[in-house]
Amino acid sequence: MKKAVRVLGSDGASILPEEVDVCALGASTTLPYEMERYFVTDASAVLVPLVSLILTRVRPRGVGSAGALMLAAYRGEHPRRAPVSVRQYGASAFLVQDGNSTVLNAIASDWPCILCRVTPI
C-alpha cells in the first residue's frame, strides 16, 4: 500500500513528494487512533495533522520496530513513548526530528493527526 509523504531532500532544504510503500517497510496498518494509548501526554504536546509533517528519514527496520512497539503500548504491554519531536518549517509545516517511523505507522493506519512536541525555531 503506497502512501504520499513529504521527505526532506539530501540537500537539507528541498522537500520531495514521495510515494512510500508502507507495507513493504513493515508498518502497521491497523493501529487504532487513540493518542493516550501510545504517547505520554503533557501540556506542551499538541495534535499536528499528518499532512503537515515532513519526514527527515525513512528506515525500513525502524518502521517495523515502531509498529510493533506502538501496538504493544496500545495493549499496555510496553511503555508509551514521548510525543513525536518536530520543528516548525515555514508557515504551516513541521520537520520530524524524532519519531519518523512512528509517523509512518500513523500514516499507514490512516490517522488524521499525531501528538507532537514542537521545538521552537
Give tens-digit pLDDT for 47-99. 999 999 999 998 888 899 999 999 999 999 999 999 999 999 988 899 999 99
Residue 117 reports pLDDT greater than 80: yes
**Cβ neighbours of 71 (radius 10 Å):** 18
Listed range (11-15, 29-33, 39-43, 57-61) with the worst mean pLDDT: 57-61
The predicted structure's pLDDT at residue 90: 85
Q: What is the mean pLDDT of residues 32-59?
A: 95
Q: Alpha-carbon distance 6 to 16, whole Å?
A: 6
Q: Determine which helix (DSSP H) or strand (DSSP E) holds 71, and give its type and residue range.
A: helix 60-74
Q: What is the mean pLDDT of residues 26-38?
A: 95
Residue 121 reports pLDDT greater than 80: no
The predicted structure's pLDDT at residue 85: 97
Q: Alpha-carbon distance 116 to 89, whole Å?
A: 14
Report angle CA 19, 31, 21 to the nearest 5 degrees: 15
* Cβ-count burial 88-97 (b if 16+ within 10 Å, e if not): ebeeebbbbe
Contact (CB, 8 A) for 74 and 80: no
What is the domain partition of the chain in residue ranges? 2-119
- CATH number for 2-119 (one of 3.40.50.150, 3.40.640.10, 3.40.50.880, 3.90.1530.10): it is 3.90.1530.10
- Percentage of the chain modeled with pLDDT above 70: 100
Q: What is the mean pLDDT of residues 35-58?
A: 95
Q: In sequence order, which residues have a C-beta less than 8 Å from that of residue 102 and are 6 or more positions away?
A: 38, 66, 70, 81, 84, 114
